[in-house]
Each structure stands twice: as structure tokens, then as C-alpha cells.
Amino acid sequence: MRAKAFWSRRSSSLATRLFLSATAWVVVILLITGVVLSSVYRSASERAFDRRLNLYLRTLIAEVATPDEPADRQFQSLGEPLFDLPLSGWYWEVVRTDPEKAEVRASRSLWDKKLPKLEDQGVELTSSGIRVGYVDGPEGQTLRMVERPVDLGADGKFRVTVAGDATEIFDETRTFDYYLGGTFAALTVGLLLTTIFQVRFGLAPLKRISDAIADIRSGRAERLEGEFPVEIAPLARETNALIDANREIVERARTHVGNLAHAIKTPLSVIVNEASAHNRDLFAAKVLEQADVMRNQVAHHLERARIAARLTVIATVTDVAPVIEALRRTMEKIHRDRDLAIDIDASTVAKFRGEKQDLEEMTGNLVDNACKWARSRVFIEVSIRPAAGTDPAPMLHIIVDDDGRGLSDAERRQVSGRGQRLDETKPGSGLGLSIVTDLAALYGGSLTLGSAPIGGLRAELVLPAA
């Protein structure tokens, strides 16, 4: 479950990063595109407005250059009623700049006001000989103004100016920005939904692999099965190859351990047999004593090596109740002459995340010890409990109680040591509880000794549940 949660978090994190990255790029690109399009449209609107102003400007210059009409009918050919509406925002002005013949002619819309000069605001002449820019109008309007100096030689020098209300430009640009923003907002939503779809379904094969690996680790599967996209297929093949190589290593380790056990046990048996033939000799007695120590040490370390090798393979799942029931039948046969009652309260859904033979070895040692020391009763309880602390995985609890004499705190510490026995009259090597402790620790569990409610010793074994 921890592996599944880990891979789920990794997949979610990758999907989140991809989504956020795609979202950021979409937003940045659309913002930049929106700013560029808005600027281009504003420039286009200004050019269209300037063409209109230039048309009026050329008409005015023609009127100035060829004054055929009487003074009261001059400048009547512009054809724009707004030039006659007072303070309408549309104005023209013709100023004679000769010092000796200063004269100003202006549209009726300008009333008694004057237009500012772009030259005074530092606006330079363009290549076509005009000045273009924004100025503040008589009534506070923002005006778009075109100004051109005209030199007619002997007929004088003039400054011809035409200005129009720039609100038209601003309104058109604002309307365009509204439509552009709405369009880009819809486009953003569409692109984000597309990105979500692509990320979700694009990472689906990785999610399948993560779930499959979690199933392998929990023992529900042995290999990655199914078809994967060509981009993911090499990962699946290499993962399966790694699992196979891991199993081969474990099998070789088991074979080596068995060979080593056989190679050592035979010479030890020869030594013990030879020493037993001279059991009255002090030297032979010492040899027997040390051979027994060697045998216990070899058994202990070979068992640890076998366990460690087996734990490196992908975990399997073992039903607990059948194992406990089989142990009860075995122990009842072994101790049938003592009329020993062995009661069981085992959850049928309890599962151990490990190999069956390891569970049999651990529970077998505990139940065997309980039967050896019990007076008339042994009670075995199996349950699944949520783990305490930060680990959310459930844990398997196996409690073995007996109604024997029990153990003091000092005796509990003594029997937990390797090869320690309280009663030499009982059969055994003294390695049982030590092996159980080591094996439980390798699985991430523990063994605790305490007082049983029925009067004797309580052994509580905690192991990972599936």
C-alpha cells in the first residue's frame, strides 16, 4: 500500500507539473498574442483616422493655395458637419505665420478657442512634412491632430491644422479588446481542457505501471502484464527483466545456503560422533560443548541468511487462518498425552505480506513454546489493526497466550537472547525466540513478551498485513 501510494503521488505530481507548465505556457503565449494584436489594431485604427484627417488637411491646403472663393464661402468644401458644431471635438485651424500679416481662420466648432501647436510639444516632422500626435482639446477631449507648415512664397506662410476626437480610436480599440479578451478566454479554456485530456490520457500508461508495480509488491501479481505504448514498453520490459533477475539471485542464494548448511553439518556430526565415543574424557566433553555452540551459531546465521535472501524477492501474500489451524492440529497431535486445549480466534480476512514458510516458522516457534510451558490451555488470537504513527498501512497482530508459570522481566530479557534457555530439561536449542525476533524485524515487524490474562506468558507478534 505504501508503494502504491508512493507511485500514485509520483504520477499525480508529474501530471500536476505537466498541467501547470502547459497552463503557464498557454497563458503567457495568449497574453503576448493579445497584447500584440491589440497594439496592431490600435495602430491600424490610428492610420485609418489619420487618413481621414489628412484628407481634410489636403482640402484645407488646396483652399489656402487657390483662394478662388469669397472669404465668407471659403473652406466650405470639407463636407463634415461636425466642423460647424461648437466644441464638437472636430476642428480645423489655418494660421498665417508671416509676422507682418498674422491671420487666423478656424472652424466654427472651435468657437473662440485655439488649438495647441504640436511643434511646441516637441513633435518632429515626418518624411511627408507633417506632424501627428495627441493633444488636449478645448473641452478636455483627447484629440488626434495633424499639423503641416505650408510655404506659398509671395502668398505667405501658413500652419494648417486638423484635429478630430480620439474617442473614436479609443472606443474601437476598447471594443476590439473586449472581443479579443472573450475570444482568448474561450480559447484558453478550450486549450486547458485539451491539455487536461492529453495529460490525463497521456499519463494513463504510467498510472497502469504504477498500479501494476504496487500489485507486484503486495503479492497480487508477479509481472507487468498487458500492452503498453511504444514509449513505455521498454520500461515495462526492463522492469520484468529486473524482477526475473531478482528471483534468480534469490534462488541462487537459497541453493548456496542449503549447500553450505549441508557442507558444515556433516563435519560437525562427525566431530560430535567421535567426541561422544570418549564422553568421559574432559577434552571430548569440551569438544562436544563447543560443537553444540557451533551448531547453534551455524543454524542461526544460516537461517538469517536464508530469510534475508528470501526477503529481497517481490513479496507474496499468505492467508493466516489456515496456517494457524494447521499448527493447532500439529500441536494437538504432538501433545495429545497432555490433554492440552488450543483455542483460536482468527480473522478469516487476515493476510500476511510475506512468504508462508516464514509465517509458519515464526508462529510455529511461538505456539510450540506456549504448548511446552502451558498447563492445560493455549489461546491464539489473530487480528488486523491500523498501524499507529505515520505509517497508514494496517498491521497483522498474532497473540499467543498460555496458562503456564509465565516469566519475570529478567527472564523475558534472558530468553530473548540467542541460545538462552531457562530450562535445560525442555527440548530445543534456545534459538526459537531469537529467530522469531530477527525474522519479524526483517519484515518490519516486532515481537513483544508480556503477561497473559490467563496466567502465563503472552507473545505478541506484529507483522505487515496485506
Q: What is the mean pLDDT of residues 139-161?
A: 89
- Give 466's Cβ-side CA count (13 Å radius): 23
- pLDDT band, very low/low/confident/very high, at 429 (cuts 50, 70, 90): very low
54-63, 264-273, 305-314 — most confident range: 54-63
pLDDT over 50 (residue 212): yes
CATH code of 2-172, in short, is 3.30.450
Q: Name residues whose C-beta falls within 8 Å of residue 142's C-beta, 6 or more positions apart in sequence.
A: 134, 135, 136, 165, 166, 167, 170
What are the phi and psi torsion angles at 316 (to 5°)? -115, 170
Q: What is the mean pLDDT of residues 244-260?
A: 76
Residues in the chain: 466
pLDDT over 70 (residue 82): yes
pLDDT over 50 (residue 219): yes
Q: What is the mean pLDDT of residues 152-169?
A: 90
- pLDDT band, very low/low/confident/very high, at 417 (cuts 50, 70, 90): low
Q: Is 416 left (phi over 0), alpha (psi -120 to 50) or beta?
A: alpha
pLDDT over 80 (residue 221): no
Provide the angle, in degrees to the nearest 10, between the axes of the packed helices 320-334 and 356-373: 40
427 vs 123, higher pLDDT: 123
- pLDDT over 90, % of the chain: 29
Cβ count near 99 (within 10 Å): 7
Q: Residue 459: its pLDDT value, please?
A: 93
What are the phi and psi torsion angles at 232 (to 5°)? -100, -20
The CATH architecture of the domain made up of 316-464 is: 2-Layer Sandwich (3.30)
Q: Residue 182: its pLDDT value, please?
A: 92
Q: Do domains 2-172 and 316-464 have the same CATH topology?
A: no
Mean pLDDT of the chain: 81
Q: Residue 268: its pLDDT value, please?
A: 77
70-74, 131-135, 260-264 — most confident range: 131-135
Is the CB of residue 137 less than 8 Å from the CB of residue 91?
yes
Q: DSSP character for 78?
A: S
- pLDDT band, very low/low/confident/very high, at 79 (cuts 50, 70, 90): confident
Domain ranges for the chain: 2-172, 316-464
What digits encode the pLDDT tens for the residues 317-341? 889 999 999 999 999 988 888 889 9
Q: State how far the Cα of 459 lies from the Cα of 455, in Å rounded to an integer.
A: 13
- pLDDT band, very low/low/confident/very high, at 440 (cuts 50, 70, 90): confident
9 vs 407, higher pLDDT: 407
What are the phi and psi torsion angles at 447 (to 5°)? -125, 130
Q: State how far the Cα of 402 lies from the Cα of 379, in Å rounded to an integer.
A: 6
Q: Where are the alpha helices (DSSP H) in 231-319?
A: 233-276, 282-311
What digits encode the pLDDT tens for the residues 354-412? 888 889 989 999 999 899 989 999 999 999 987 665 556 789 999 999 998 888 887 87
Cell 485655439 belongs to 114
What are the phi and psi torsion angles at 89 (to 5°)? 100, -10
